[in-house]
Amino acid sequence: MARKKIIAGNWKMNMTPSEAVELVNTLKPLVANEEADVVFCVPAIDIVPVAEACKGSNIQVGAENMYFEEKGAYTGEISPNMLVDAGVKYVILGHSERRGYFGETDADINKKMHKAFEHNLIPIMCCGESLEQREQGVTMDFIRQQVKIGFQGLTADQAKQAVIAYEPIWAIGTGKTATTEQAQEVCKGIRECIAEVYDAATAEAIRIQYGGSVNAATAADLFAQEDIDGGLVGGAALKPDFGKIVNYNK
Ligand code: PGA
């Protein structure tokens, strides 16, 4: 069975709650596409008003992060059950900005992956190399490690539902999209890694996105690649252009 595309916006630290509702109302009529899952991953404080504003549309709500404990003395953190209760379906885990600025490790991300599945949240696990790693020729070694540790202990059934976002760090927010060939090559490598860790059926089912300066001009070519099942979109997800990205196939 063909994999359904998944196109997610990552709003990062943008949009106050009232701006968020306005943006949803602008984008809502532009992002209808039955052939793709459409997800808005928004700042924690925007989740409740965004979920309300998305009611009756095809937009699903995602979070940008969560903690791996249920509750307790973890000042400033958000638990999985809080997300679920607020109507969240997806959660981005291990974005390179979380890893880089907030010291998240592969082991932390693995704990979060387990927690997400315990609560029926679908993780969008990010991986991707730095420019230095690409130039040193260790891209695939590095990403295989991120994927293997991130998925450690998850069952094949869980892995089949997960989403992996391949986001080369040098392409994020830089306007420098990876070429379709570079993006396809790594997404294929990630699928091969999943086949090794699990089996061919799991590799066939798991959805792998590309992220990093995706825009309305580059989306169609990227999403047409055999191993690219959609995108994780930052900057362009905050503009009407996101409608064109979601409707890349029209
Ligand atoms: P960008 O961000 O599209 O602005 O490059 C993508 C991301 O970081 O998820």
At 137, which CATH number?
A: 3.20.20.70
- The confidence band for 2, taking pLDDT boundaries of 50, 70 and 90, is confident
- Could you list the residue range(s) of the whole structural domain that residue 109 is in? 5-246
What is the pLDDT at residue 1? Answer: 61
What is the pLDDT at residue 89? Answer: 98
What is the pLDDT at residue 175? Answer: 86
Which residues of 43-187 form beta strands (DSSP E)?
A: 59-63, 90-93, 122-127, 163-166
- Substitution site in 6, 12, 238 for ligand 1 pocket (most atoms within 8 Å of beta carbon): 12
d(CA 170, ligand 1 centre) in Å: 10
Residue-wise pLDDT for 125-147, tens only, equals 999 999 999 999 999 999 999 99
Task: Kindly list the protein residues whose Cβ atom lies closer than 6 A to any atom of ligand 1.
Answer: 10, 167, 172-173, 211-214, 232-236
- The confidence band for 81, taking pLDDT boundaries of 50, 70 and 90, is very high
Distance, C-alpha 114 to centroid of its chain: 16
- Substitution site in 10, 90, 96, 166 for ligand 1 pocket (most atoms within 8 Å of beta carbon): 10
Residue-wise pLDDT for 196-217, tens only, equals 999 999 999 999 999 999 999 9
Number of domains in the chain: 1
Alpha carbon distance 192, 126 (integer Å): 17
Please tell me the pTM assigned to this model. 0.98
Average pLDDT, the chain: 97
Catalytic residues: 95, 167
193 neighbors 233 (Cβ within 8 angstroms) = no
Collapsing DSSP states into helix, strand and coil, what is residue 136?
helix
Helix axes 139-150 and 106-118, enclosed angle (nearest 10): 40
Going by C-beta distance under 8 Å and a sequence separation of 6 or more, which residues neighbour residue 142? 129, 133
Averaged pLDDT for residues 45-73: 98
CA dist list (Å): 121 to 5, 127, 196: 18, 19, 25
